[in-house]
Amino acid sequence: MPATVIVGAQWGDEGKGKIVDLLAQHSDVVCRYQGGPNAGHTIVVGDETYKIRALPSGVVRGKPCVIGNGCVVDPEVLIAELDEFERRGHPSCEVYLSGNAHLIMPWHLAIDQASERRLGKLAIGTTRRGIGPCYADKAMRLGIRVQDVLDAKILRQKIEVALAEKNLWLERVYETEPFDLETVAAKYEGYAQRLRPLVADTSLYVDRALRDGKDVLFEGAQATLLDLDHGTYPFVTSSNPVAASAATGVGIGPQRIDRVVGVAKAYVTRVGEGPFPSEIEGDEQARMRELGAEYGTVTGRERRCGWLDLVALRYAVRVNGIDHLALTKLDVLSHFAELPVCIRYRTPDGVEMGDFPAHQSDFHAARPVYEVLEGWNEPLDGCSSVAELPAAARGYVEFVERELDVEVMLVGTGAERSSVLTRA
Protein backbone atom coordinates (compact mmCIF):
# COMPACT_ATOMS: atom_id res chain seq x y z
CA MET A 1 0.00 0.00 0.00
CA PRO A 2 1.53 3.33 -0.99
CA ALA A 3 0.61 5.41 2.09
CA THR A 4 0.08 3.66 5.42
CA VAL A 5 -0.38 5.34 8.79
CA ILE A 6 0.65 3.43 11.92
CA VAL A 7 -1.14 4.79 14.94
CA GLY A 8 -1.14 3.93 18.64
CA ALA A 9 -4.64 2.80 19.61
CA GLN A 10 -4.32 3.08 23.41
CA TRP A 11 -2.24 5.29 25.75
CA GLY A 12 1.09 4.74 24.02
CA ASP A 13 3.84 2.16 24.32
CA GLU A 14 1.89 -0.33 22.22
CA GLY A 15 5.00 -1.44 20.35
CA LYS A 16 4.51 0.78 17.32
CA GLY A 17 8.25 0.92 16.68
CA LYS A 18 8.41 -2.80 16.15
CA ILE A 19 5.45 -2.82 13.76
CA VAL A 20 6.93 0.12 11.83
CA ASP A 21 10.24 -1.73 11.71
CA LEU A 22 8.48 -4.75 10.21
CA LEU A 23 6.45 -2.81 7.64
CA ALA A 24 9.43 -0.59 6.82
CA GLN A 25 11.06 -3.57 5.10
CA HIS A 26 8.65 -3.08 2.22
CA SER A 27 8.53 0.72 2.36
CA ASP A 28 10.63 3.36 0.65
CA VAL A 29 10.24 6.24 3.12
CA VAL A 30 9.28 6.46 6.80
CA CYS A 31 7.90 9.71 8.29
CA ARG A 32 7.20 10.99 11.77
CA TYR A 33 4.32 13.46 11.75
CA GLN A 34 3.96 14.70 15.35
CA GLY A 35 5.50 14.62 18.81
CA GLY A 36 9.12 14.81 19.77
CA PRO A 37 11.53 13.06 22.10
CA ASN A 38 8.67 12.22 24.46
CA ALA A 39 8.38 9.14 22.22
CA GLY A 40 10.50 6.11 22.90
CA HIS A 41 10.53 3.27 20.41
CA THR A 42 12.42 0.10 21.23
CA ILE A 43 13.52 -2.23 18.45
CA VAL A 44 15.44 -5.43 19.15
CA VAL A 45 17.57 -6.83 16.32
CA GLY A 46 19.54 -9.90 17.40
CA ASP A 47 21.76 -8.80 20.30
CA GLU A 48 21.25 -5.12 19.55
CA THR A 49 18.55 -2.98 21.14
CA TYR A 50 17.76 0.37 19.54
CA LYS A 51 15.97 2.97 21.64
CA ILE A 52 14.79 5.73 19.35
CA ARG A 53 13.26 9.01 20.44
CA ALA A 54 13.58 11.55 17.66
CA LEU A 55 14.13 9.62 14.44
CA PRO A 56 11.45 7.52 12.74
CA SER A 57 11.88 3.82 13.53
CA GLY A 58 12.50 3.12 9.83
CA VAL A 59 16.04 4.37 10.37
CA VAL A 60 17.00 0.93 11.68
CA ARG A 61 16.15 -0.52 8.23
CA GLY A 62 18.28 2.16 6.56
CA LYS A 63 15.24 3.80 4.92
CA PRO A 64 15.07 7.52 4.13
CA CYS A 65 13.47 9.20 7.13
CA VAL A 66 11.30 12.29 7.28
CA ILE A 67 10.70 14.40 10.38
CA GLY A 68 7.58 16.33 9.42
CA ASN A 69 6.43 19.85 10.20
CA GLY A 70 4.08 18.53 12.91
CA CYS A 71 7.04 17.40 15.04
CA VAL A 72 8.98 19.24 17.72
CA VAL A 73 12.71 18.67 17.60
CA ASP A 74 15.20 18.76 20.44
CA PRO A 75 18.44 19.26 18.49
CA GLU A 76 20.55 17.82 21.29
CA VAL A 77 18.55 14.56 21.26
CA LEU A 78 18.42 14.31 17.46
CA ILE A 79 22.15 14.92 17.03
CA ALA A 80 23.00 12.41 19.79
CA GLU A 81 20.79 9.84 18.06
CA LEU A 82 22.43 10.45 14.67
CA ASP A 83 25.88 10.12 16.27
CA GLU A 84 24.83 6.91 17.98
CA PHE A 85 23.60 5.42 14.70
CA GLU A 86 26.85 6.33 13.03
CA ARG A 87 28.81 4.78 15.90
CA ARG A 88 26.82 1.56 15.48
CA GLY A 89 27.56 1.32 11.80
CA HIS A 90 24.69 3.15 10.05
CA PRO A 91 26.75 5.96 8.53
CA SER A 92 24.38 6.88 5.74
CA CYS A 93 21.34 7.88 7.81
CA GLU A 94 19.22 9.72 5.23
CA VAL A 95 17.17 12.28 7.17
CA TYR A 96 14.88 15.00 5.79
CA LEU A 97 13.97 17.51 8.47
CA SER A 98 11.07 19.88 7.86
CA GLY A 99 11.98 23.55 8.10
CA ASN A 100 8.55 24.14 9.61
CA ALA A 101 9.04 21.79 12.58
CA HIS A 102 9.59 23.63 15.85
CA LEU A 103 12.73 23.52 17.96
CA ILE A 104 12.59 22.58 21.60
CA MET A 105 14.57 25.22 23.46
CA PRO A 106 16.10 24.97 26.96
CA TRP A 107 13.32 27.10 28.43
CA HIS A 108 10.73 24.61 27.20
CA LEU A 109 12.35 21.91 29.32
CA ALA A 110 12.68 24.28 32.28
CA ILE A 111 9.02 25.38 32.04
CA ASP A 112 7.76 21.79 31.60
CA GLN A 113 9.60 20.77 34.77
CA ALA A 114 8.69 23.86 36.78
CA SER A 115 5.04 23.74 35.74
CA GLU A 116 4.69 20.07 36.71
CA ARG A 117 6.31 20.82 40.07
CA ARG A 118 3.90 23.70 40.58
CA LEU A 119 0.83 21.65 39.73
CA GLY A 120 1.74 19.25 42.54
CA LYS A 121 -1.07 16.72 42.97
CA LEU A 122 -2.71 17.99 39.78
CA ALA A 123 0.40 17.30 37.67
CA ILE A 124 -0.14 15.71 34.25
CA GLY A 125 2.87 13.43 34.62
CA THR A 126 4.56 14.67 31.44
CA THR A 127 7.85 13.26 30.18
CA ARG A 128 9.36 16.67 31.10
CA ARG A 129 11.00 16.98 27.67
CA GLY A 130 9.55 20.41 26.95
CA ILE A 131 6.89 19.12 24.56
CA GLY A 132 3.87 21.07 25.86
CA PRO A 133 5.67 24.43 26.21
CA CYS A 134 7.15 24.05 22.71
CA TYR A 135 3.75 23.40 21.09
CA ALA A 136 2.27 26.22 23.20
CA ASP A 137 4.85 28.63 21.75
CA LYS A 138 4.05 27.36 18.26
CA ALA A 139 0.40 28.28 18.82
CA MET A 140 1.44 31.61 20.39
CA ARG A 141 3.60 32.28 17.30
CA LEU A 142 6.60 32.71 19.54
CA GLY A 143 8.30 29.50 18.47
CA ILE A 144 11.68 29.01 16.85
CA ARG A 145 11.53 26.78 13.80
CA VAL A 146 14.05 24.46 12.23
CA GLN A 147 14.37 26.81 9.24
CA ASP A 148 15.65 29.52 11.60
CA VAL A 149 18.90 27.57 11.88
CA LEU A 150 19.64 28.40 8.24
CA ASP A 151 20.60 31.96 9.15
CA ALA A 152 22.79 32.54 12.21
CA LYS A 153 21.62 36.16 12.57
CA ILE A 154 17.92 35.30 12.49
CA LEU A 155 18.46 32.45 14.93
CA ARG A 156 20.17 34.73 17.45
CA GLN A 157 17.49 37.40 17.07
CA LYS A 158 14.68 34.92 17.64
CA ILE A 159 16.38 33.53 20.72
CA GLU A 160 16.77 37.08 22.03
CA VAL A 161 13.09 37.93 21.49
CA ALA A 162 11.89 34.69 23.06
CA LEU A 163 14.23 34.95 26.03
CA ALA A 164 13.07 38.48 26.86
CA GLU A 165 9.68 36.97 27.69
CA LYS A 166 10.70 33.50 28.88
CA ASN A 167 13.17 34.79 31.46
CA LEU A 168 10.42 36.90 33.01
CA TRP A 169 8.24 33.82 33.38
CA LEU A 170 11.06 31.70 34.69
CA GLU A 171 12.11 34.19 37.32
CA ARG A 172 8.81 35.73 38.37
CA VAL A 173 6.29 32.95 37.93
CA TYR A 174 8.32 29.78 38.32
CA GLU A 175 10.98 31.27 40.61
CA THR A 176 13.75 29.53 38.77
CA GLU A 177 17.00 30.51 37.01
CA PRO A 178 16.87 32.60 33.80
CA PHE A 179 18.92 31.70 30.69
CA ASP A 180 21.87 33.68 29.39
CA LEU A 181 21.40 34.81 25.79
CA GLU A 182 25.04 34.33 24.75
CA THR A 183 25.25 30.83 26.16
CA VAL A 184 22.01 29.67 24.48
CA ALA A 185 22.86 31.39 21.17
CA ALA A 186 26.32 29.79 21.04
CA LYS A 187 24.95 26.34 21.89
CA TYR A 188 22.21 26.55 19.25
CA GLU A 189 24.60 27.88 16.61
CA GLY A 190 26.62 24.72 17.23
CA TYR A 191 23.48 22.58 16.71
CA ALA A 192 22.55 24.67 13.67
CA GLN A 193 25.73 23.65 11.89
CA ARG A 194 24.77 20.00 12.28
CA LEU A 195 21.10 20.49 11.34
CA ARG A 196 21.54 22.69 8.26
CA PRO A 197 22.29 19.87 5.82
CA LEU A 198 19.17 18.00 6.96
CA VAL A 199 16.65 20.80 6.40
CA ALA A 200 14.33 20.00 3.50
CA ASP A 201 10.92 20.70 2.00
CA THR A 202 9.50 17.49 3.38
CA SER A 203 5.97 18.06 2.05
CA LEU A 204 7.37 18.21 -1.49
CA TYR A 205 9.64 15.23 -0.87
CA VAL A 206 6.78 13.02 0.36
CA ASP A 207 4.43 14.23 -2.38
CA ARG A 208 7.00 13.28 -5.02
CA ALA A 209 7.63 9.91 -3.40
CA LEU A 210 3.88 9.15 -3.51
CA ARG A 211 3.55 10.36 -7.11
CA ASP A 212 6.43 8.07 -8.04
CA GLY A 213 4.44 5.16 -6.61
CA LYS A 214 6.70 4.68 -3.61
CA ASP A 215 5.50 3.13 -0.36
CA VAL A 216 5.48 5.65 2.48
CA LEU A 217 4.91 4.85 6.14
CA PHE A 218 3.63 7.50 8.53
CA GLU A 219 4.66 6.64 12.04
CA GLY A 220 2.57 8.05 14.86
CA ALA A 221 4.12 8.71 18.25
CA GLN A 222 2.16 8.57 21.53
CA ALA A 223 -1.39 7.42 20.85
CA THR A 224 -5.09 8.04 20.40
CA LEU A 225 -5.99 8.46 24.06
CA LEU A 226 -3.08 10.91 24.48
CA ASP A 227 -4.33 13.02 21.54
CA LEU A 228 -4.77 16.70 22.40
CA ASP A 229 -8.28 16.76 20.90
CA HIS A 230 -9.49 13.18 21.14
CA GLY A 231 -7.64 11.87 24.19
CA THR A 232 -8.40 11.97 27.88
CA TYR A 233 -7.73 15.72 28.28
CA PRO A 234 -5.94 17.18 30.23
CA PHE A 235 -3.91 13.97 30.71
CA VAL A 236 -2.73 14.04 27.11
CA THR A 237 0.22 15.15 25.05
CA SER A 238 0.24 18.46 23.18
CA SER A 239 0.00 17.17 19.61
CA ASN A 240 -2.42 15.08 17.55
CA PRO A 241 -1.27 11.47 17.21
CA VAL A 242 -4.52 10.40 15.45
CA ALA A 243 -4.16 9.17 11.88
CA ALA A 244 -5.68 12.23 10.18
CA SER A 245 -2.85 14.27 11.62
CA ALA A 246 -0.39 12.41 9.37
CA ALA A 247 -1.69 14.60 6.53
CA THR A 248 -1.24 17.93 8.32
CA GLY A 249 1.93 16.83 10.11
CA VAL A 250 3.71 16.09 6.83
CA GLY A 251 1.86 18.32 4.40
CA ILE A 252 -0.13 16.05 2.09
CA GLY A 253 -3.86 15.89 1.34
CA PRO A 254 -5.97 13.51 3.47
CA GLN A 255 -7.10 11.50 0.43
CA ARG A 256 -3.51 10.40 -0.14
CA ILE A 257 -3.67 8.07 2.87
CA ASP A 258 -4.54 4.55 1.75
CA ARG A 259 -4.55 2.54 4.94
CA VAL A 260 -4.55 3.01 8.71
CA VAL A 261 -3.05 0.34 10.95
CA GLY A 262 -3.79 0.65 14.66
CA VAL A 263 -1.37 -0.85 17.15
CA ALA A 264 -2.74 -2.10 20.46
CA LYS A 265 -1.29 -4.22 23.22
CA ALA A 266 -3.22 -7.38 24.10
CA TYR A 267 -3.70 -5.60 27.44
CA VAL A 268 -3.37 -1.89 28.29
CA THR A 269 -0.73 0.30 29.92
CA ARG A 270 -0.66 3.94 30.80
CA VAL A 271 2.09 6.21 32.12
CA GLY A 272 1.30 9.42 33.90
CA GLU A 273 -1.89 10.43 35.60
CA GLY A 274 -5.53 10.20 34.58
CA PRO A 275 -8.48 7.81 34.72
CA PHE A 276 -7.96 4.20 33.60
CA PRO A 277 -11.12 2.04 34.00
CA SER A 278 -9.56 -1.38 33.35
CA GLU A 279 -6.52 -0.79 35.59
CA ILE A 280 -5.76 -4.06 37.40
CA GLU A 281 -6.19 -4.01 41.15
CA GLY A 282 -3.77 -5.51 43.65
CA ASP A 283 -0.72 -7.73 43.09
CA GLU A 284 -1.76 -8.86 39.61
CA GLN A 285 -0.86 -5.40 38.29
CA ALA A 286 2.73 -5.71 39.54
CA ARG A 287 2.87 -9.20 38.02
CA MET A 288 1.74 -7.92 34.64
CA ARG A 289 4.29 -5.06 34.88
CA GLU A 290 7.13 -7.50 35.54
CA LEU A 291 6.05 -9.97 32.87
CA GLY A 292 5.64 -7.24 30.26
CA ALA A 293 8.71 -5.22 31.44
CA GLU A 294 6.41 -2.23 31.62
CA TYR A 295 8.79 0.60 32.44
CA GLY A 296 9.02 3.81 30.37
CA THR A 297 11.64 3.97 27.60
CA VAL A 298 12.11 7.71 28.05
CA THR A 299 11.57 8.22 31.78
CA GLY A 300 11.99 4.73 33.27
CA ARG A 301 8.69 5.25 35.13
CA GLU A 302 6.51 2.28 36.08
CA ARG A 303 3.63 1.91 33.65
CA ARG A 304 0.18 1.32 35.07
CA CYS A 305 -1.26 -1.95 33.72
CA GLY A 306 -4.81 -2.98 32.90
CA TRP A 307 -6.86 -5.59 31.07
CA LEU A 308 -7.71 -5.06 27.43
CA ASP A 309 -10.30 -2.31 27.10
CA LEU A 310 -12.49 -2.80 24.02
CA VAL A 311 -14.58 0.31 24.70
CA ALA A 312 -11.47 2.46 24.36
CA LEU A 313 -10.21 0.42 21.43
CA ARG A 314 -13.55 0.73 19.61
CA TYR A 315 -13.19 4.49 20.04
CA ALA A 316 -9.67 4.37 18.59
CA VAL A 317 -10.99 2.44 15.59
CA ARG A 318 -13.56 5.19 15.07
CA VAL A 319 -11.47 8.33 15.48
CA ASN A 320 -8.56 7.01 13.42
CA GLY A 321 -10.52 5.04 10.81
CA ILE A 322 -8.43 1.96 11.63
CA ASP A 323 -8.53 -0.63 8.82
CA HIS A 324 -6.37 -3.28 10.48
CA LEU A 325 -5.03 -3.93 13.94
CA ALA A 326 -1.68 -5.17 15.14
CA LEU A 327 -2.11 -6.80 18.55
CA THR A 328 1.20 -6.82 20.41
CA LYS A 329 2.61 -8.60 23.47
CA LEU A 330 0.11 -11.45 23.43
CA ASP A 331 2.84 -13.62 25.02
CA VAL A 332 2.60 -11.60 28.25
CA LEU A 333 -0.92 -12.99 28.75
CA SER A 334 0.35 -16.60 28.56
CA HIS A 335 0.94 -16.45 32.31
CA PHE A 336 -2.66 -15.77 33.32
CA ALA A 337 -5.26 -18.52 33.72
CA GLU A 338 -8.17 -16.15 33.14
CA LEU A 339 -8.25 -13.05 30.98
CA PRO A 340 -10.85 -10.41 31.75
CA VAL A 341 -11.61 -8.18 28.76
CA CYS A 342 -13.53 -4.94 29.27
CA ILE A 343 -16.46 -4.99 26.87
CA ARG A 344 -18.57 -2.16 28.25
CA TYR A 345 -18.41 0.59 30.88
CA ARG A 346 -20.96 0.92 33.66
CA THR A 347 -21.94 4.36 34.93
CA PRO A 348 -22.62 4.98 38.66
CA ASP A 349 -26.38 4.80 37.96
CA GLY A 350 -26.02 1.35 36.41
CA VAL A 351 -26.22 2.22 32.71
CA GLU A 352 -23.92 0.13 30.52
CA MET A 353 -22.29 1.64 27.42
CA GLY A 354 -20.22 0.17 24.61
CA ASP A 355 -19.15 3.53 23.22
CA PHE A 356 -16.50 5.69 24.80
CA PRO A 357 -18.06 8.44 26.97
CA ALA A 358 -18.03 11.86 25.33
CA HIS A 359 -17.92 13.66 28.67
CA GLN A 360 -14.88 13.51 30.96
CA SER A 361 -16.94 13.07 34.15
CA ASP A 362 -18.61 9.97 32.71
CA PHE A 363 -15.19 8.57 31.83
CA HIS A 364 -13.85 9.32 35.33
CA ALA A 365 -16.79 7.49 36.89
CA ALA A 366 -16.86 4.57 34.41
CA ARG A 367 -16.38 1.08 35.82
CA PRO A 368 -15.39 -1.85 33.61
CA VAL A 369 -17.79 -4.65 32.68
CA TYR A 370 -15.66 -7.71 31.95
CA GLU A 371 -16.11 -10.82 29.91
CA VAL A 372 -13.62 -13.37 31.20
CA LEU A 373 -11.87 -15.37 28.49
CA GLU A 374 -9.87 -18.51 29.19
CA GLY A 375 -6.10 -18.32 29.20
CA TRP A 376 -3.82 -20.70 27.26
CA ASN A 377 -1.13 -21.20 29.90
CA GLU A 378 1.61 -22.09 27.46
CA PRO A 379 4.39 -20.15 25.77
CA LEU A 380 3.86 -18.85 22.24
CA ASP A 381 7.54 -19.08 21.21
CA GLY A 382 7.11 -21.93 18.75
CA CYS A 383 4.25 -20.35 16.76
CA SER A 384 5.14 -18.91 13.38
CA SER A 385 1.67 -17.76 12.31
CA VAL A 386 -1.63 -16.82 13.94
CA ALA A 387 -3.06 -20.16 12.80
CA GLU A 388 -0.47 -21.95 14.94
CA LEU A 389 -1.44 -20.19 18.16
CA PRO A 390 -3.06 -22.33 20.89
CA ALA A 391 -6.84 -22.42 20.47
CA ALA A 392 -7.52 -20.10 23.43
CA ALA A 393 -4.99 -17.54 22.17
CA ARG A 394 -6.60 -17.63 18.74
CA GLY A 395 -9.96 -17.29 20.47
CA TYR A 396 -8.70 -14.15 22.22
CA VAL A 397 -7.63 -12.59 18.90
CA GLU A 398 -10.91 -13.55 17.21
CA PHE A 399 -12.91 -12.14 20.13
CA VAL A 400 -11.22 -8.78 19.57
CA GLU A 401 -11.97 -8.94 15.85
CA ARG A 402 -15.64 -9.77 16.41
CA GLU A 403 -16.16 -7.07 19.02
CA LEU A 404 -14.51 -4.36 16.90
CA ASP A 405 -15.32 -5.61 13.42
CA VAL A 406 -11.69 -5.07 12.42
CA GLU A 407 -9.19 -7.64 11.21
CA VAL A 408 -6.13 -8.31 13.37
CA MET A 409 -3.38 -8.56 10.74
CA LEU A 410 -0.36 -8.96 13.02
CA VAL A 411 0.15 -10.51 16.45
CA GLY A 412 3.23 -9.79 18.57
CA THR A 413 4.57 -12.68 20.65
CA GLY A 414 7.95 -11.42 21.90
CA ALA A 415 10.53 -8.66 21.84
CA GLU A 416 12.49 -9.97 18.86
CA ARG A 417 12.01 -8.55 15.38
CA SER A 418 10.92 -12.01 14.19
CA SER A 419 8.23 -12.42 16.87
CA VAL A 420 5.43 -10.81 14.91
CA LEU A 421 2.97 -13.32 13.46
CA THR A 422 0.96 -12.77 10.32
CA ARG A 423 -2.43 -14.32 9.53
CA ALA A 424 -1.13 -16.88 7.02
| Least distance in angstroms from the C-beta of 250 to ligand IMP | 19
Angle of the 152-168 helix axis to the 106-119 helix axis, nearest 10: 20
- Please tell me the distance from the alpha carbon of residue 5 to that of residue 392, in angstroms, as a whole number: 30
13 is catalytic: yes
Binding of ligand IMP at residue 17 (CB under 6 A)?
A: no
Binding of ligand IMP at residue 126 (CB under 6 A)?
A: yes
Selected binder of ligand IMP within 10, 13, 146, 305 (CB under 6 A): 13
- Please tell me the distance from the alpha carbon of residue 345 to that of residue 397, in angstroms, as a whole number: 21
Q: Determine whether 261 is exposed, middle or buried from the number of CB atoms within 10 Å of its CB (0-12, 13-18, 19+).
A: buried
- Please tell me the distance from the alpha carbon of residue 137 to that of residue 153, in angstroms, as a whole number: 21
Selected binder of ligand IMP within 34, 115, 202, 222 (CB under 6 A): 222
Q: Which is nearer to ligand IMP, 185 or 305 (CB)?
A: 305
Binding of ligand IMP at residue 235 (CB under 6 A)?
A: yes
Which residues 265-284 are close enough to bind ligand IMP by CB under 6 A? 271-272
Q: Could you tell me if 50 and 42 are in contact, meaning their C-beta atoms sit under 8 angstroms apart?
A: yes
Which residue lies nearest ligand IMP, judged by its C-beta?
272
Binding of ligand IMP at residue 12 (CB under 6 A)?
A: yes
Q: Could you tell me if 268 and 306 are in contact, meaning their C-beta atoms sit under 8 angstroms apart?
A: yes
| Least distance in angstroms from the C-beta of 9 to ligand IMP | 13
Q: Which is nearer to ligand IMP, 115 or 334 (CB)?
A: 115
Binding of ligand IMP at residue 131 (CB under 6 A)?
A: yes
Angle of the 181-195 helix axis to the 152-168 helix axis, nearest 10: 140
Strand partners, 56: none
Which residues 32-61 are close enough to bind ligand IMP by CB under 6 A? 38-40
Residue 198: CB atoms within 10 A of its CB come to: 21
41 is catalytic: yes
Q: Which is nearer to ligand IMP, 210 or 221 (CB)?
A: 221
13, 112, 323, 331: the active-site residue: 13
Binding of ligand IMP at residue 110 (CB under 6 A)?
A: no
- Please tell me the distance from the alpha carbon of residue 141 to that of residue 153, in angstroms, as a whole number: 19
Binding of ligand IMP at residue 294 (CB under 6 A)?
A: no
Peptide bond into 357 cis (omega under 30): no
Q: Coil, strand or helix: which one is 240?
A: coil
Catalytically active residues are 13, 41
Residues that bind ligand IMP (CB under 6 A): 12-13, 38-40, 124-127, 129, 131-132, 221-222, 226, 235, 237-238, 271-272
